[in-house]
């Protein structure tokens, strides 16, 4: 500044400049001062000063101080310059340590300093530089064009590293990616995220801006999984976007566990079998189609509002587990593949899930009545006595309690419960029978049953029926009727709507990763049309399914 202006700086600034070095005395500077004082004391032959003087002058202590100072300096820098300066320090410390006492620690330190990672030179080539780059988003072969707007084409790696080392805050790279970026294991891996991830809330991510946020249920394309902790991925919904960092399977699982353990202890009812519900069975219904009486087998009214009674008595899993037991115990990513049902294959099972009263049964009923030759429900099993006008295998499969319990123990029930001392349930066999008849089986299920139904044989397509806003429900549900613990055909009360909204949120938070499709049931006709097209899409168009379903196809 003095040269440019051709004069001196104003007085005030000069004074300030003088004071600064006083404030920032380094440890080595203090040590030099102490040594000067000690050397004076040595001349006066003060007891023990000679030994202290020698100790403080030893080169290995100076080496340690140097390391300390450098690290202090680096700590204040973002990003930390661990390149040229670090190597220079490395060489200096190796030199200083030659004179240090031969203790085990010093030997270990020497060994570390000689390790190839620390001794690597940028002259070893651009490839090394690209590999060790900040965010693991650069590949060997990428052509670096600009760093923070500074053209770097044709510069030596050392020069580029210098620019990087002097950079503060965010570093912007402009590069031409190598045309054949390596993809792990030759084939690209696709996964369904089974948990949410927010890089900006993760203090452990090497570069938060390079992180890829995702929500459970989203399909990710993993482009690199060479690193044990951080993978690179893109969302299939936006494959043109840059890949971002995501925690590896192992790391995300560890994070989930740590989060789970950090929560205050609460009993986890969901770990117990939650498949036994208090049911409220209403008699079967008949539906007419074009004046024709059509009996729709297995079409009992939902008992889910009665299940609400059970929920009130013993709080549900989602209200107790802060992070949900399922997601804590399960793998954070599920490998998926694109699957399209062959026209001659059996249909995929359609499962409707939703909070009580949202309209699951209404939509299912409308779908089945629209074409009973194409759609059918599964005929439930019961232990109650067959009535005179009923036919075994039409309204119900009538079985003994022993047979029913055997089916439960051998995991052949998707869902079951007890009503007035009798057992009722939907079996896998009943679903299989509909599918084998060439029809599309449509059932409703409590979300806890999803895991059991998700098999390669049934390949279920899960549709979540979501309530619209409470305001919208107040309008649309004026004439709607619900079943409560005690009443059939009762009007919706405000608390029913609130509970529906709450319950939907919990379901999405706990089971959202399994939903293939979400339909908001605001307008019945529109929701019915959406359901019909979703069901056809599930059967006729490619969908993401767990990879294990497809691999298992070859198994018996």
Q: Which is nearer to ligand ATP, 100 or 483 (CB)?
A: 483
Can residue 353 be called a binding residue for ligand ATP (CB under 6 A)? Answer: no
Pairing of strands 292-295, 422-427: unpaired
> What is the largest distance, in Å, between two alpha-carbon atoms of the chain?
121
Can residue 354 be called a binding residue for ligand ATP (CB under 6 A)? Answer: yes
User: Measuring CA to CA, which residue among 159, 122, 332 is closest to residue 246?
Assistant: 332
Residue from 69, 106, 476, 501 touching ligand ATP (CB under 6 A): that is 476
Residue from 14, 98, 119, 481 touching ligand ATP (CB under 6 A): that is 481
Structure-token match 């004074």, residue found = 15
Candidates 31-39, 204-212, 379-387, 475-483 — which segment interacts with ligand ATP by CB under 6 A?
Answer: 475-483
Can residue 362 be called a binding residue for ligand ATP (CB under 6 A)? Answer: yes
**CA 353, 358, 360, 363 torsion: positive or negative?**
negative
Residue from 192, 304, 348, 454 touching ligand ATP (CB under 6 A): that is 304
Angle at the Cα of 214 (from 210 to 217), degrees rounded to 5? 155
Residue from 356, 433, 442, 458 touching ligand ATP (CB under 6 A): that is 356
User: Measuring CA to CA, which residue among 75, 225, 196, 237 is closest to residue 136?
Assistant: 225
Residue from 232, 248, 327, 361 touching ligand ATP (CB under 6 A): that is 361
CA distance 99 to 13: 45
Residue from 358, 428, 430, 545 touching ligand ATP (CB under 6 A): that is 358
Interface positions, 485-524, toward ligand ATP (CB under 6 A): 521, 523-524
For the chain, the C-alpha Rg in angstroms (whole number) is: 35
Structure-token match 């080539």, residue found = 125
Q: Which is nearer to ligand ATP, 335 or 522 (CB)?
A: 522
Can residue 477 be called a binding residue for ligand ATP (CB under 6 A)? Answer: yes
Can residue 470 be called a binding residue for ligand ATP (CB under 6 A)? Answer: no
Q: Which is nearer to ligand ATP, 202 or 362 (CB)?
A: 362
CA distance 302 to 85: 71
- Is residue 367 a contact partner of residue 465, using CB atoms and an 8 Å limit? no
The string of DSSP letters for 492-528 reads: PPHHHHHHHHHHHHHHHHHHGGG-SEEEE-SSHHHHH
For residue 529, the tally of other CB atoms under 10 A from its CB is 13
Can residue 357 be called a binding residue for ligand ATP (CB under 6 A)? Answer: yes
CB of 509 to ligand ATP, least distance (A): 19
Q: Which is nearer to ligand ATP, 38 or 483 (CB)?
A: 483
Can residue 94 be called a binding residue for ligand ATP (CB under 6 A)? Answer: no
Q: Which two tokens stand for residue 429?
A: 């066999």
Give the E-state strand segments of 203-347 in sequence order: 219-224, 230-235, 244-247, 276-278, 286-289, 292-295, 333-339
Residue from 164, 222, 458, 483 touching ligand ATP (CB under 6 A): that is 483
**Phi, psi for 368 (deg, rounded to 5):** -70, -45
CB of 455 to ligand ATP, least distance (A): 25
Q: Which two tokens stand for residue 265?
A: 């202890």
Over the window 520 to 539, marking each residue x when it contacts ligand ATP by CB under 6 A and - when it does not, the resulting string is: -x-xx--x------------
Can residue 366 be called a binding residue for ligand ATP (CB under 6 A)? Answer: no
User: Measuring CA to CA, which residue among 105, 156, 154 is closest to residue 129?
Assistant: 156
Q: Which is nearer to ligand ATP, 361 or 427 (CB)?
A: 361
Q: Which residues make beta-bridge pairs with 517?
A: 463
Interface positions, 426-465, toward ligand ATP (CB under 6 A): none
Pairing of strands 189-193, 173-176: unpaired
Interface positions, 198-227, toward ligand ATP (CB under 6 A): none
CB of 478 to ligand ATP, least distance (A): 8
Binding site residues, ligand ATP, CB under 6 A: 301-302, 304-305, 354, 356-362, 476-477, 480-483, 521, 523-524, 527
């Amino acid at each position: 500044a003095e040269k440019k202006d051709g004069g001196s700086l104003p007085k005030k600034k000069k004074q300030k400049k003088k004071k600064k070095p006083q404030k920032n005395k380094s440890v080595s500077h203090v040590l030099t001062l102490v040594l000067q004082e000690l050397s004076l004391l040595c001349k006066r032959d003060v007891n023990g000063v000679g030994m202290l003087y020698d100790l403080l002058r030893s080169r290995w202590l100076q080496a340690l101080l140097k390391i300390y100072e450098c690290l202090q300096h680096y700590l204040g820098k973002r990003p930390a310059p661990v390149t040229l300066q670090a190597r220079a320090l490395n060489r200096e410390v190796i030199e200083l340590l030659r004179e240090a006492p031969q203790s085990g620690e010093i030997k270990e330190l020497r060994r570390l300093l000689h390790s190839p990672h620390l001794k690597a030179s940028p002259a070893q080539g651009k490839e090394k530089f690209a590999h060790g780059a900040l965010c693991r988003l650069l590949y060997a072969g990428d052509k670096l064009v600009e760093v923070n707007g500074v053209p770097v084409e044709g510069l030596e790696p050392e020069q580029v590293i210098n620019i990087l080392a002097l950079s503060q805050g965010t570093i912007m790279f402009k590069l031409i990616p190598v045309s054949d970026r390596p993809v792990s294991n030759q084939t690209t891996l696709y996964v369904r995220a089974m948990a949410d991830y927010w890089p900006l809330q993760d203090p452990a991510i090497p570069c938060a801006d390079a992180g890829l946020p995702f929500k459970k249920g989203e399909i990710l394309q993993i482009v690199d999984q060479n690193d044990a902790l951080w993978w690179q991925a893109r969302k299939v919904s936006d494959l043109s976007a840059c890949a971002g960092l995501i925690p590896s399977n192992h790391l995300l699982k560890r994070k989930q566990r740590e989060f789970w353990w950090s929560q205050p202890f609460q009993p986890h009812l969901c770990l117990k079998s939650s498949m036994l519900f208090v049911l409220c069975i209403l008699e079967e219904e008949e539906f007419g189609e074009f004046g024709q009486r059509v009996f729709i087998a297995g079409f009992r009214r939902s008992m889910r509002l009665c299940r609400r009674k059970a929920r009130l008595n013993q709080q549900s899993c989602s209200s107790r587990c802060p992070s949900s037991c399922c997601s804590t115990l399960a793998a954070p990513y599920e490998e998926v593949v694109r699957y399209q049902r062959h026209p001659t294959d059996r249909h995929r099972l359609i499962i409707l899930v939703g909070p009580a009263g949202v309209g699951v049964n209404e939509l299912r009923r409308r779908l089945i009545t629209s074409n009973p030759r194409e759609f059918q429900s599964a005929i439930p099993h019961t232990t109650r006595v067959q009535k005179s006008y009923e036919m075994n295998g039409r309204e119900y499969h009538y079985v003994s309690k022993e047979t029913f319990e055997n089916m439960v123990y051998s995991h052949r029930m998707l869902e079951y419960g007890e009503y007035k001392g009798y057992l009722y349930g939907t079996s896998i066999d009943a679903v299989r029978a509909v599918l084998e008849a060439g029809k599309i089986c449509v059932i409703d299920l409590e979300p806890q049953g999803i895991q059991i139904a998700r098999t390669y044989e049934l390949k279920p397509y899960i549709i979540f029926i979501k309530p619209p806003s409470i305001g919208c429900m107040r309008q649309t549900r004026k004439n709607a009727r619900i079943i409560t613990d005690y009443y059939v055909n009762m009007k919706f009360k405000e608390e029913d709507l609130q509970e529906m909204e709450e319950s939907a949120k919990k379901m999405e938070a706990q089971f959202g990763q399994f939903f293939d499709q979400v339909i908001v049931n605001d307008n019945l006709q529109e929701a019915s049309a959406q359901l019909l097209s979703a069901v056809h899409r599930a059967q006729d168009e490619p969908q993401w399914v767990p990879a294990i379903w497809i691999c298992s196809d070859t198994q018996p």
